[in-house]
A and B are shown apart, each in its own frame.
Chain A
C-alpha cells in the first residue's frame, strides 16, 4: 500500500519538477537571468530532482505487488497506450540529460544538442498526457490544479519567450547612436 502511495506521490513530484525545469529553461533561454550560469545550474538541479522522482515512481510501481507494472512496460509493452506514453516520457527524460553529457564530452555538437533539447517540450507534454489519461488521481482537485497550473505556467513562459524575443533584438539602439 505504501509503495502504491509512493508511486502516486512521486509522479506528482516528478511532473511538478519537470514543469519547473521547462519554465526555468525557457526563462534561461530567454535571457531572463544574468548571469545565466547559476540559473542553468538550477535548471539542471530541478531536472535531477525530477529524474529521482521518476526513478522512484518507476521502482515503486515495479515493486508494488498490485500494480503489475513490469520491466516490459518500460519498453512499450504496457497494457495500454497511456502506460506506453509514460515509458516514452521515461526514456526522453533519461535522454535529455544524457545529451548534455554527450555535448560536454564533445560527442555531439552544440547545434545537435540544441535540437535534441527541443525534445524537452515533448517530454513534458507526454508526461502530462500520461498523467492525465493514466493517473489514478486525475479526477481529484489537486491533480487538476497541478495540471492546469503547469499548463498555465509553461504556456505563459512560452508566450513570454516568443513575444519577448523580437522587440528586444530590433528596437535596441546601438551604443554609438544612443549618445
Chain B
C-alpha cells in the first residue's frame, strides 16, 4: 500500500495551502470575531443564573444563538461580572463599525449586544 511521493506532496501542499488561505481569509474578514464562539467554549458556570437562555448551555446547541458579544472580549469573560453582555434582549446591532478586533458574528441573525460593557 503505497502512494506515490508526488501524490503525497500534491495532496499535502493543497491541504496546507487551503489551510493558509482559509486562515487568512477568515482573519481578514469582519467575521473573524471571537465573540460568537465564546458561549460554547468559555461559558462560566456562574452565568447560569443570569437570565433565561443565558444559562450554562447558552448557545451551545443553537447555531442561531452563538453570538452574544459585539467582539468585546471581556463581555464574555467568566471573570467579568458584567452580565449585561449576556442579556439576550440586547439585540440591537452595535453602534460601532465592525472591525477586525470588534466584529459581529458571521450570522446576521445573531443578536449583537451593545458594546462598551467593559
Would A139 and B64 be within 8 Å (CB), given that A12-B22, A46-B11, A80-B40 are in contact? yes
Q: Given A41, A73, A81, which contacts B61 in the complex, CB threshold below 8 Å?
A: A81
Chain B residues lying within 8 Å of A46, measured Cβ to Cβ, are 11
Please name all residues of chain A whose beta carbon is closer than 8 Å to the beta carbon of B66 when the two chains form the complex: 135-136, 138-139
Across-interface contacts of A41 in B (CB, < 8 A):
1-3
A40 neighbours in B (Cβ, 8 Å): 1
CA distance A14 to B96 in the complex (A): 34
B39 CB to nearest chain A CB (Å): 8
Number of A-B residue pairs with CB-CB distance less than 8 Å in the complex they form? 139
Residues of A within 8 A of B23 (CB): 2, 5-6, 8-10
Contact string against A for B residues 1-22, beta-carbon threshold 8 Å, 1 for contact and 0 otherwise: 1111001100110010011001
Q: Are A67 and B60 in contact (CB under 8 A)?
A: no
B63 within 8 Å of A by Cβ? yes
Instruction: Please measure, in the bound complex, the distance between the C-alpha atom of A69 and the C-alpha atom of B108, giving whole angstroms.
Output: 26
How far does the alpha carbon of A4 sit from the alpha carbon of B29 in the complex, in Å?
Answer: 13
Dominant SS among interface residues on chain A: helix
What is the total number of residues of chain A having a CB less than 8 Å from a CB of chain B? 45
- Least CB distance from B22 to A in Å reads 4
- B27 at the A interface (CB under 8 A): yes
Q: Are A138 and B41 in contact (CB under 8 A)?
A: no
- Quick one: closest B residue to A16, CB to CB? B18
User: CB of B117 within 8 A of chain A?
Assistant: no
Considering only residues 1-57 of chain A, those with a C-beta below 8 Å from chain B are 1-2, 4-6, 8-10, 12-13, 16-17, 37-38, 40-42, 44-46, 49, 52-53, 56
Using A5-B26, A79-B43, A137-B26 as known contacts, list a sample of 13 further A-B pairs with CB atoms less than 8 Å apart, ordered by residue number in A. Answer: A1-B27, A9-B26, A13-B18, A38-B1, A44-B1, A52-B15, A56-B19, A83-B41, A134-B40, A136-B105, A138-B63, A139-B64, A140-B106
> Which of A's residues lie within 8 Å of B, judged by CB?
1-2, 4-6, 8-10, 12-13, 16-17, 37-38, 40-42, 44-46, 49, 52-53, 56, 61, 66-69, 73, 78-83, 132-140
CB<8 Å pairs between A and B, sample of 16: A1-B100, A2-B23, A9-B23, A40-B1, A42-B7, A45-B3, A45-B11, A52-B15, A79-B56, A79-B60, A82-B61, A133-B61, A136-B105, A137-B26, A138-B107, A139-B66
